[in-house]
Structure 1
């Protein structure tokens, strides 16, 4: 599953519809519905796993349904009779949905199934819990690193930057403009602005959440000021906007990083699969996110793709058995390799199967870093993310200073439902 822009590639925001989750029982078997957001080759990988589970035992039949409609998903989960028994989404929704009572708590079910939550990336599990209870499991995780065009850096005499000072020095060396000052190549772009800036906030030692939203953390403000000073104000907000308007579709052959219009970008591990497929001639590399201080080395952001059971499922035990199968080592390995995602199980990080994917090891190493961070999955998370995205946009368009933009978010955050 791709995170998207936060995306980045984009995260396929979706959800689930469909068939009856009022599982039919016949021939001693219980039928449950797995409504998933994947489609295309990703959906085919999911169906292969479903077939494997169905063939592995004789008590449960899983019916897979692909549907990308989040509103239908929420409508089903909020009704007396839901249409599915297990589904998937993203870590930042867990707290909000748990607070609304539409997710089934999993602790007892996981204990009965013998699932050890300590096997999963700790930063991902932080997002799976609400008020001390577990409401989801990570099926895959995603980290963000600095992806760079080797030829462009070599031509400019630039080494992959490891510090924020080095990154600031590299951007102008890699940026080009024409005779009228229009940007023709940008040293540092972003596949997804909110993800890029929240990641940079962590790299400056910031924190977006504590006991509640902390948008005005000094490290966060330093990250936003870095972006304004080195990109927006340096080249002009209007010119940056005009340049971005001509970007090709993300992860297509016209992606601005693939075509050399952007020299460096903060992005996720799915690029290790996408670049060889969509830009086979591109010479590229990956390095850790540059940091503001040596003690921050290894800092990055982690996001998670999740599995959950809706509270209105009438077959929680069967859904939990299928969930156990999906997060098992063999199934998790197969799915992550098919999707080009990181395995949520930390024990798989050193599996030799991942060594065949170009540069994948950099993202795997980041997953194991003690400095990996994740945004809170509190009940206010979705509202907070939307407010941050709006504020970030005002910063990059130079219509607000970082202090003004984050003060506005803080004002709005005072009214968030804490759940």
Structure 2
């Protein structure tokens, strides 16, 4: 019989508010057996090529030892996933381990929705600060405690068609995209690539594919990459107001606007259109996430990938991380919890195959191995893990939240119709400040405290 759940009012309200008021959904009580390997419940939101790769990795760690067997449950990306995860944690009936985007941890860590990782036990398994890029390890913390353990970084990158770029004369002697160091330099390279793309496609083509229509995440990813390249980060202190250098923000938006001139890039394109354009060889460059690696491999085009060029002096890329978290359990079994630590360590140490999905493994012994240096194009953008910039930390930010869509709603008119960038930034900040003025619903110091 499943033991009764001791659900406090604070935990219930925290779980409800963290998922934007979605109805209570049942969690999953861990299952086990009296003898043989312990069965560990693992929730994640990885589908498509990512899901296939994760399934293969789980098969490998299951087969490599006899102490545990991982049973995965795949839930729909975004709100449905985070709804169920929050409510399972609030009820203390959560899975043993789950995947969460690192940018969502700030909204979940307070109030008991997640349990912390034991640094000493991780260190015994060869997992510590020295085995991760500094910004990735740091983002796993909240309130000085480690709440998430990154499997990867999945940064925003620049893919390019080698044949088109070669014809445009923008490759270096090693056959890779030459160094680009300023906004004007990038615009000129993009125009040269556009001319080569048109030559290769009977007069039609673009230098760059960038899909943004109706996609706040796409707009935010490029904007925040450019903003961070100025050596700045958006600040979102509790209570507000948000800190964003308006002049730099306007400059970054103006550059994005300049790309959408009909020559460099289509002025009106959604994400699917941009993917299809680059995959069919009708453009020479593509700003996208590393998750499109398999798409381009399947398309059979001659492509490579690199960091988005440093146009404003500071190396920086937008990224998020798939991270292991321990959803709160009311009565965790110590022996079972220790097996979860072993599983996480085993998967990190075996994450070379995760690079096949395009992601940059967070565990440095993998990306610093000789085998990884031979992996192309992944090795050509692996250094992005040292320059990642995540969403500003706030209870309402992160992948699958409304923060990025709010940004898109404010700035899409700038890109689409040439509306005033300064007014768009003001509208965005007003929305952020309203949210910052509200307490984190999962924080026991906030207004939801019982």
Give the TM-score normalised by the residue count of structure 1: 0.78
Match 2:283 to one of 262, 268, 292: 262
Structure 2, unmatched stretches of 5+, are: 1-24, 172-177, 212-217, 441-450
Deviation at 1:108, TM superposition (A): 6.0
Query: Closer, same or farther in 2 for the Cα pair 1:361/1:319, shift >3 Å?
Result: same
Q: Is the 8 A contact 1:18 1:35 kept in 2?
A: no
Deviation at 1:335, TM superposition (A): 4.0
Cα distance in 1, alignment partners of residues 103 and 192 from structure 2: 37
Cα distance in 1, alignment partners of residues 430 and 225 from structure 2: 22
User: What is aligned with 1:199?
Assistant: 225
Q: Is the 8 A contact 1:202 1:220 kept in 2?
A: no
Cα distance in 2, alignment partners of residues 158 and 340 from structure 1: 24
- Is 2:41 the counterpart of 1:43? no
Alignment of 1:330-345 (within 5 A): 331-345=349-363
User: What is aligned with 1:75?
Assistant: 84
Match 1:223 to one of 244, 249, 252: 252
Cα distance in 1, alignment partners of residues 351 and 122 from structure 2: 22
Query: Closer, same or farther in 2 for the Cα pair 1:157/1:356, shift >3 Å?
Result: closer
Query: Closer, same or farther in 2 for the Cα pair 1:414/1:32, shift >3 Å?
Result: same
Deviation at 1:316, TM superposition (A): 6.2
Deviation at 1:19, TM superposition (A): 8.2
Cα distance in 2, alignment partners of residues 51 and 119 from structure 1: 24
Match 2:186 to one of 142, 157, 167: 167
Match 1:405 to one of 406, 424, 437: 424
User: What is aligned with 1:351?
Assistant: 369
Q: Is the 8 A contact 1:49 1:331 kept in 2?
A: no
Alignment of 1:5-404 (within 5 A): 20-27=28-35, 30-39=38-47, 42-55=50-63, 57-68=65-76, 70-71=79-80, 73-79=82-88, 80-99=91-110, 101-107=112-118, 110=121, 114=125, 115-159=127-171, 160=178, 161-175=180-194, 184-190=204-210, 192-209=218-235, 211=237, 213-228=242-257, 230-232=258-260, 234-235=261-262, 240-241=267-268, 244=269, 248=273, 250=275, 255-276=276-297, 278-280=298-300, 282-293=301-312, 295-296=313-314, 298-312=315-329, 314-315=331-332, 317=334, 318-319=336-337, 321-328=339-346, 331-368=349-386, 371-381=387-397, 382-398=401-417, 400-404=419-423
Cα distance in 1, alignment partners of residues 391 and 100 from structure 2: 15
Deviation at 1:266, TM superposition (A): 2.1
Give the 3-state SS of the residue equivalent to 1:302 in structure 2.
Answer: strand
Q: Is the 8 A contact 2:107 2:395 kept in 1?
A: yes
Deviation at 1:137, TM superposition (A): 0.6
Cα distance in 2, alignment partners of residues 404 and 322 from structure 1: 49
Q: Is the 8 A contact 1:186 1:263 kept in 2?
A: yes
Deviations 1:214-244 (A, max 9, x none): 344433321111112x234x449x9721xx2
Give the 3-state SS of the residue equivalent to 1:257 in structure 2.
Answer: helix
Query: Closer, same or farther in 2 for the Cα pair 1:116/1:110, shift >3 Å?
Result: same
Deviation at 1:88, TM superposition (A): 0.6
Structure 1, unmatched stretches of 5+, are: 1-16
Deviation at 1:210, TM superposition (A): 6.0
Cα distance in 2, alignment partners of residues 303 and 102 from structure 1: 21
Cα distance in 2, alignment partners of residues 283 and 30 from structure 1: 46
Query: Closer, same or farther in 2 for the Cα pair 1:414/1:43, shift >3 Å?
Result: closer
Deviations 1:329-384 (A, max 9, x none): 7644344244332110123222122234322222112323xx44332333131443
Query: Closer, same or farther in 2 for the Cα pair 1:49/1:235, shift >3 Å?
Result: closer
Deviations 1:141-167 (A, max 9, x none): 123332222332333344543322211
Deviates more, 1:208-217 or 1:255-264: 208-217
Q: Is the 8 A contact 1:142 1:269 kept in 2?
A: yes
